[in-house]
Structure 1
């Protein structure tokens, strides 16, 4: 099982969030990436964020833990864990060009209008507008059509859905 970390970085002065547009689908994401062997999730998110953005994030707070499942013909063909952090403290200089895609500060009020993986809308909404921890499970097809999701915020199942294939 692959483990990945990402961080939603907000700028409280400008009311913006830093996003990364991945070239493959054109979807916007929170910068992050794969954990290395022996790394803690906190070490991973700091390293990955710096590698992708040029920013050193300070005091990232874990806001969500998610299982991402890829299904084909009702069978799991891939699965990974994603640990999502939030911070508004950073220093450094934004890379002119990220090795992972296009970086852009987006107005917080416009983030939910950006093209992204269906489950990411729930994650961004929770981190930007909610409190506490969110635990979740998102099941997708190989083409990233959302099949089902289950979200637990602070011990309460808040959303559960099984979509049609």
Structure 2
């Protein structure tokens, strides 16, 4: 399969103390690797909405969005062809529980942020750059209404 378009997605940094919840992927890309849970941003959905929804869908945990930790443009190639192309928003969410519910995406487990299992190279870099350092990033959701040739900003969050 060759990439047909860029896929916007959220990745979830769900922390509890010094631990992070990771998913052992059951399908490609990165089948068998441990990754941050996450998924595609749906049409009309804000980044915080996507992060909270994906967290609940993949872990059964209702968590609250805190911030975007980083943004990555990940391009996966095979034999010179682009196979996957993601625009990733790494989001930090907070929760008061360590109890999760596994789904179809793979096995879930808490790991110490200082002793992580086998991660894809991209996730390893994102953990190092986005989660272990504190670089503030401001992301705005802009909702604009079009009426013919006129445009009105309804929300700037």
TM-score tier (shorter): 0.7 to 0.9
Unaligned residue ranges in structure 2 (runs of 5+) = 1-5, 138-157
- Tell me the alpha carbon deviations over residues 84-108 of structure 1, each in whole angstroms, 9 at most, x when there is no partner: 011333458411x222100001122
Partner of 1:125: 128
1:98 corresponds to which of 86, 100, 103: 103
Which one has a bigger Cα radius of gyration?
Answer: 2
- Identify, as 1 or 2, the structure richer in strand: 1
Equivalenced residues, count: 129
Where relative contact order (Cα < 8 A, 6+ residues apart) is larger, the structure is 2
1:84-95 aligned within 5 A = 84-91=90-97, 93-95=99-101
Calculate the TM-score normalised by the size of structure 1.
0.69
Rounded to whole Å, the distance in 1 between the matches of 2:123 and 2:62 is 23
Regions of 4+ moved over 6 Å: none
Unaligned residue ranges in structure 1 (runs of 5+) = 135-165
User: What's the Cα RMSD here?
Assistant: 2.1
Partner of 1:53: 59
1:15-34 aligned within 5 A = 15-24=18-27, 25-34=31-40
